[in-house]
Every structure is written in C-alpha cells, then in structure tokens.
Amino acid sequence: MVTDYLVIGSGIAGLTFAVKIAEEFADREITIVTKGDEDESNTKYAQGGVAVVLDTEEDSFQKHIQDTLIAGDGLCDEPVVQMVIKEGPKRFKELITWGANFDIDPRGNFNLGKEGGHSEHRVVHHKDITGLEMERTLLARVHQLENVTLFSHHFAIDLITEHHLKQGVSHQLSCYGAYVLEERTGKIHTIKAKNTLLASGGIGRAYGYTTNPDVATGDGIAMAYRAKAQIKDMEFVQFHPTALYNKQGESTFLISEAVRGVGAFLRNKKGHRFMPDYDPRAELASRDIVSQSIDNELKKSGDTHVFLDCTHLDSEAFKKHFPNIYETCKTLHIDIEKDWIPVVPASHYLCGGIVVDKNGKTTIKNLFACGECSRTGLHGANRLASNSLLEALVYAHNIFKYLTGESNQPMDFEIPDRNDEGTSIPKEHVLIQHNLKELQALMRDYVGIVRSNDRLTKAITRLDIIYKEVEELYKTSKVNTSLCELRNMINVAHLIIGESLSRKENRGGYFNIDNI
C-alpha cells in the first residue's frame, strides 16, 4: 500500500494533523492506522480540559508562560513555551469551528477551570469529559473527508528506514512508512509513505498502576528508538496525584485535578489536611509536588491511600461540572456529598519522548512526531496540567504548515515485505502475561515517584532478564499485538531507567534520594 501521509494513532495529535492536511490537499491520500477501536486513546479520557489564555482581562500569555516555566522546574525550552502558549487560542478556536462544544458560564463566556500550578482560571472544558468531546469532533470531521482512510485494529510494528531497504544505510536516515499488522487477520502490510507521523501517545501501561488506557504502551517511542531517532527526558514520568484507589493496583479512573481547582481538600487517614504543610499553594501546587507529598504521607503512615474530601463543596455545582466523576464514584458506593474519595498517585503522563523541533521534525528525515510521544521542550521536568492537549493542537498545526511548503516527491523504489520466515504462532501466551506483570511491578516499585540508585540498578538487572526472555520469544514468534507491546514497554523501561540513572539532580517530577 502506498500513501502520501501515514499517521500512526488516532488521538488528538494524529486526527488534528489528518484533518488539516486532508483539507489542504484534496488530491493527496492520508492513511491513519490505529491499534484499537478508532476512538481508543488517552485523548478520549482527558477530563480537566485545555489550558488556553482567552480571558485577557484577568489572564495573560505572560502568566501562562510563567506558570509553565515554573512547573517545568528550569528545564523547559522557553521559546517553545512562548510559541505554544501564544498560538494556543487560534488552534483552540479551530476545534470550535469543527464542532467541539465547551462549557459556557451564565454570561456567555467560556467557563474556565483551574488546576494545579495555574495562577489563573484558564482551563476550557466540556464538563469532565473534555477529551471525549474532542475525539468525537475530530473523528466526525475525519469521516467527512474522502481522502482520509482510517484503519482501526491495525498495529504499527516498526518504522521502515534504510535498514530495511536493499540499497543500505545512507548518511542521514529517512523513514519510508511502517510495517503494520492487521490484527484480525494476522497479515502484515507494508505501508509505504512519503511522510510518517508518529502520534502514538504515552507509556502509562508500563507501570500498570496508571490512569492511562491499555493502548498506552509507548509503541511509537520504542519504534523511533529502534529506528535510531533521538529520544530524551524519559525519566520525567508524571504521576497524577489523585487516581481513584483500587486494591488490585491496576488501570484506574482519574479524579480530575479540576476537582481540587474548585476547592477539594486532600486528607490523610487521620483527617489531617496535609498539603498546606508542604506548599503554600496547598492542593493546587504543581503535580510533582502534590504526588511527592502524598508519597511521603503514605510512607510515614504505611497507609495505602489518602482521601479527597469534597463534602464541603456545592454538590449541585459539582454534579454539573463533574457528572462522570460523580456517577463513577456513585457506582462504587462513594457518595461525594458524604464520603471522602480514596485516592493515590498513578503514572499519568510522559514529559519526554521523541525529540522534535518546532516543526515536529524528528532526527529522521520524513518522520514527524506529535502529542504525548514527542518531546518538544514545552514541559521540561514536569508538565503543567492541561498543557498536553494544547501542545498536540499546536504541533499538529506546525507539522501541517511545514509540510504544505514541501513538494510531493515520487517514491520510485521497492520496499521488501517484512520477513518472518522461521517463526511460528507463540504457544506460551503465559510468558507474555507473566513478563508483563513483572515489568509493571518492577516499574511501580523500583522506578516510581521517589527513586534511588540502588533500586534503579536492581531494576536494570531484572529488566535485562525479562528483556532476554521476551527477545527470544519475539525472534521465534509470528508477531501479535501483545508481544509487540510488551517488547516496546521493555524498550521504554530501559530508556526511563537509563536516563534516571544519568540524572544527577532532582528536578520537577524526577526525585532520587541519592541526589539530595
């Protein structure tokens, strides 16, 4: 199969780019592959909203820039921060022209929420299901465009570079598309593309205890890494302070930071409101500080979770802004009007990833990255809440703009199909499940919110054992999604641990007791 633009992923990053480029070039083909249902993504679950400066009487670009830089703890790329925040309002308004709805206050202005680290109310939202509304809007637009084809349940296995071509490796590597597994038939397609966009999202599932859905396995980062693209800042895994506690310690529902934005308190088991002990901004300190404070409270007490107290809030206003959170709690017999919500930090977002410039270009020619899999320099050591959807919108536009200036080159060479000679269908599925559980436990216990060189070194030793076993299985097996995902998460874990061991000072979301 040949296409002009191959987009890997159907979250906000991939879909926004696809809509824009398809609208501009009706004669060019855009192919989106996505490994699950078409809407399954981190985007779909985004709750709080999009941070954007719309009310310039109270707010200003400068304040949003300052808040982003403070959250990033000295490691943001300032020109990138300036660019993203100033471009934000234009990109946000495009979403509205495509049909997205955001909450409006009684005066007819956008209802602006507040989250940790923000000095002003600036988070536009659609109740507490902002991501679902964005995903709905973008998918509807994609389906209207005749030059976009979206293949769901198609898993990108590897990028195609010179390593796969008969002509051998040239000075600068280029990307020529990807090998893609059609999950329902097991057939591997060679998709040859003039330009490839990785929009494959985050890595949450490498930790098991995560706010992310099952698709967040870091595939794009692992593929780019194997293709030899530059990857950076992988040690900055962001833990969201308030994931709903469950005894199983698996993927978990998020209680939005916007709930603290309307005044909810964090309490320990004894009922003490502890955040003022740690930071003058209390519950609205940036996420790294709140998560590390909760971790400290749990270590001191030996408890498994803390609580979010909403009992003093206006319950009617709560139900209106947070209907999804209210209902989810209710089904678990938590009545937010009377009961405190049990919460615990969980892996939520990756600040690092595939290095890109302001045009979303990676270090490999014709390969772009956008959204959570990319490392733009916006977030530094810790992402400011609700800056992620914004970043994806702005960079999808920048990549589109860059590519409109590029000529549409012919692709007159052959790419060999993926060679899986000598492999067979893996019989021991238990090996995949067992190693996945071990990897997730390892990442949670040894590479969590508070790290130490000793735990990180032990983690590497154990990871190497898992790596060898899985590589062996991979070499002899016909590929399937769960095996590839596990292999990708192992790559990602190596990158996180490796970069953690190299970081000699604590910044933002990275905290190592040996650096104190």
Q: What are the residues binding ligand SIN (CB under 6 A)? A: 47-48, 256-258, 349, 385-386, 388
Under a CB-based contact definition with an 8 Å cutoff, are residues 134 and 100 in contact?
A: yes
Name the residue nearer to ligand FAD (CB basis): 371 or 448: 371
- Residue by residue, DSSP assigns 57-101 as TT--HHHHHHHHHHHTTT-S-HHHHHHHHHHHHHHHHHHHHTT--
Q: Provide, rounded to whole angstroms, the least separation between the CB of residue 430 and ligand SIN.
A: 35
CA distance 12 to 14: 6
How distant, in Å, are the alpha carbons of 11, 22, 43, 101 from that of 202? 11, 25, 10, 25
8 binds ligand FAD (CB under 6 A): yes
Q: Provide, rounded to whole angstroms, the least separation between the CB of residue 454 and ligand FAD.
A: 31
352 interface partner picked from ligand SIN, ligand FAD, none, CB below 5 to 8 A per type? none
Name the residue nearer to ligand FAD (CB basis): 14 or 380: 14
The single residue among 209, 349, 368, 446 that binds ligand FAD, judged by CB under 6 A, is 349
Task: Name 497's Cβ contacts closer than 8 Å, sequence gap at least 6.
Answer: 447, 456, 459, 460, 463
Q: Provide, rounded to whole angstroms, the least separation between the CB of residue 42 and ligand FAD.
A: 3
Q: Tell me the window of 28-36, 337-345, 410-418, 496-504 that interacts with ligand FAD (CB under 6 A).
A: 28-36
344 binds ligand FAD (CB under 6 A): no
Torsion of CA 315, 318, 322, 328, to 10 degrees: -20
Place of tokens 């985004």: 46
CA distance 384 to 286: 7
Residue 110's DSSP bridge partners are: 104
CA distance 52 to 43: 17
CA distance 426 to 18: 36
How distant, in Å, are the alpha carbons of 45, 123, 127, 297 from that of 49? 10, 6, 9, 29
215 interface partner picked from ligand FAD, ligand SIN, none, CB below 5 to 8 A per type? ligand FAD
The single residue among 371, 380, 508, 509 that binds ligand FAD, judged by CB under 6 A, is 371
How distant, in Å, are the alpha carbons of 192, 235, 475, 487 from that of 39? 24, 28, 32, 24
Name the residue nearer to ligand FAD (CB basis): 259 or 285: 259
264 interface partner picked from ligand SIN, ligand FAD, none, CB below 5 to 8 A per type? none
34 binds ligand FAD (CB under 6 A): yes
62 by DSSP, 3-state: which?
A: helix
Catalytic residue (one of 91, 141, 287, 383): 287
Q: Which of 212, 217, 218, 246 is nearest to 231 (CA)?
A: 218
Cα dihedral 227, 16, 384, 292 sign: negative
Question: By rule CB under 6 A, what string of x and - marks binding of each residue 42-71 to ligand FAD?
Answer: xx-xxxxx----------------------
Active site residue 287: yes
Name the residue nearer to ligand SIN (CB basis): 4 or 128: 128
How many residues in the chain?
516
Q: Provide, rounded to whole angstroms, the least separation between the CB of residue 10 and ligand SIN.
A: 19
512 by DSSP, 3-state: which?
A: strand
Written as six digits, the tokens of 362 are 């990676």
Name the residue nearer to ligand FAD (CB basis): 11 or 426: 11
Q: Provide, rounded to whole angstroms, the least separation between the CB of residue 272 and ligand FAD.
A: 28
Name the residue nearer to ligand FAD (CB basis): 84 or 459: 84
Q: Tell me the window of 259-267, 385-393, 411-419, 434-442 that interacts with ligand FAD (CB under 6 A).
A: 385-393
Q: Provide, rounded to whole angstroms, the least separation between the CB of residue 451 and ligand SIN.
A: 22
- Residue by residue, DSSP assigns 346-393 as EEEEES-EEE--TT-B-SSBTEEE-GGGEE-SSSTTSPPTT-HHHHHH
Q: Provide, rounded to whole angstroms, the least separation between the CB of residue 12 and ligand FAD.
A: 4
389 binds ligand FAD (CB under 6 A): yes
Q: Which residues here bind ligand FAD, judged by CB under 6 A?
A: 8-14, 33-36, 40-43, 45-49, 130-131, 155-156, 199-202, 211-212, 215-216, 219-220, 254, 349, 371-372, 386-389, 392
Catalytic residues: 287
